[in-house]
Amino acid sequence: MEKEPIDVVAGVIFSGDRLLLHRREKGDALEGTWEFPGGKVEEGETQEEALRREILEEMGLEIEVEEKLGEVVHEYPHIHIRLIAYKAQTENRKVESREGACRWVHPQEVEHYPLSPADSRLWQKIKDALGRE
């Protein structure tokens, strides 16, 4: 019997006309790939609460979570996830990443970065919701 996927939230976080990408660090199963920052939803918290908590803990950013953009289910060799994207805003571009590099990019530049497999599938699904091609 297949395990239920773990819920992981991802923030498509905008500051002005740019959004935030995060690169997985060395030693990570997905090292070197880029992703939308976020993390696992803990028991007893909403997806929006989890996203705010993860971004504050990992990036030092306070965000305003807006609408849900979409989701994908993806099975990696090491984990089965449901990746759920939310649009979010922040006024601060000063990121204090504790895990890997971060970069603010224009939405049309996202596809120039090697995204993790789940994030790539998610981007293909949600970019139209953002009015991008």
| Rounded percentage of the chain residues whose pLDDT exceeds 90 | 74
Q: What is the pTM for the complete model shown?
A: 0.90
Does residue 90 contact residue 13 with C-beta atoms inside 8 Å? yes
Instruction: Please give the mean pLDDT across all residues of the chain.
Output: 90
Amino acid 92: pLDDT: 87
pLDDT tens-digit readout, 106-117: 999 999 999 999
Strand, helix or coil for residue 91: coil
pLDDT tens-digit readout, 39-89: 999 999 999 999 999 999 999 999 999 999 999 999 998 889 999 999 999
Amino acid 29: pLDDT: 67
Amino acid 1: pLDDT: 42
Closest to 74 measured CA to CA, from 31, 12, 116: 116
**Highest CATH level, class, for 6-130:** alpha beta
Find the distance separating the first CA and the last CA of the chain, reported in whole Å. 38
Domain edges within the chain: 6-130
Q: Is pLDDT larger for residue 132 or for residue 47? A: 47
